[in-house]
Amino acid sequence: MKFHFISHQRLFQVIYSYDIVTGVDLMKSVGIIAEYNPFHNGHLYHLHKSKEVSGAGVVICVMSGNFLQRGEPALISKWYRTRMALEAGSDIVVELPYAFAVQKAEIFAFGAVYLLNALKCDSICFGSESGEVQPFFNTLDYLNKHSETYNDHIKRYVKQGVSYPRALALAYEAVKDGLRNGVDLSKPNNILGYQYIRAAHEINSHIHFFTVKRNKAGHHDQTFHHEKMASATSIRKSLSENPNLDHIAAYVPESTLSALASYVNRYKKLHDWEDYWPYLQYRLLTMSDDELQQVYDAEEGLPYRLKKTAQNAKSFHSFMESAKTKRYTWTRLQRICVHILTNTPKNMMIPAAKKPQYIRLLGMSSAGRDYLNKRKKELELPLISTVSSYPDEWLMLDRKSSQVYAHVLPDPEKSSLVSLEFAQPPIMIGNRP
Question: In angstroms, how far apart are the furthest CA atoms of the chain?
Answer: 79
Is 37 annotated among the ligand-binding residues?
yes
Is 242 annotated among the ligand-binding residues?
no
Angstrom distance (rounded) from CA 144 to CA 182: 13
Q: Which residues contact 263 (CB under 8 A, 6 or more apart)?
A: 76, 77, 80, 270
Residue 343: left (phi > 0), alpha (psi -120 to 50), or beta? left
Is 35 annotated among the ligand-binding residues?
yes
Is 41 annotated among the ligand-binding residues?
yes
Is 127 annotated among the ligand-binding residues?
yes
Is 111 annotated among the ligand-binding residues?
no
Angstrom distance (rounded) from CA 301 to CA 311: 16
Under DSSP, the state recorded for 345 is: B
Angstrom distance (rounded) from CA 292 to CA 295: 5
Is 189 annotated among the ligand-binding residues?
yes
Angstrom distance (rounded) from CA 320 to CA 307: 12
Candidates 355, 403, 309, 386; CA nearest to 100 is 355
Is 278 annotated among the ligand-binding residues?
no
User: CA torsion, points 142, 143, 149, 152, in degrees to nearest 10?
Assistant: 170
Rg (CA), the chain: 22
Three-state secondary-structure class, residue 125: strand
Is 46 annotated among the ligand-binding residues?
yes
**Residue 313 CB neighbour total at 10 angstroms:** 19
Q: DSSP of 93-116, one letter per residue? A: EEEEPHHHHSS-HHHHHHHHHHHH
Instruction: Please answer whether residues 211 and 133 qualify as being in contact, where contact means their C-beta atoms are separated by less than 8 angstroms.
Output: yes
Instruction: Please answer whether residues 93 and 61 qualify as being in contact, where contact means their C-beta atoms are separated by less than 8 angstroms.
Output: yes
φ/ψ of residue 432, rounded to 5:
-80, 160
- Burial zone of 109 (CB within 10 Å; 0-12 exposed, 13-18 middle, 19+ buried): buried
Three-state secondary-structure class, residue 326: coil
User: Parallel, antiparallel, or unpaired for β 123-128 and 208-213?
Assistant: parallel
Candidates 353, 329, 344; CA nearest to 292 is 344
Under DSSP, the state recorded for 381 is: S
Angstrom distance (rounded) from CA 95 to CA 398: 10
Q: Which residues contact 222 (CB under 8 A, 6 or more apart)?
A: 231, 233, 234, 237
Annotated binding site: 33-46, 127, 189, 214
Annotated binding site for ATP: 33-46, 127, 189, 214
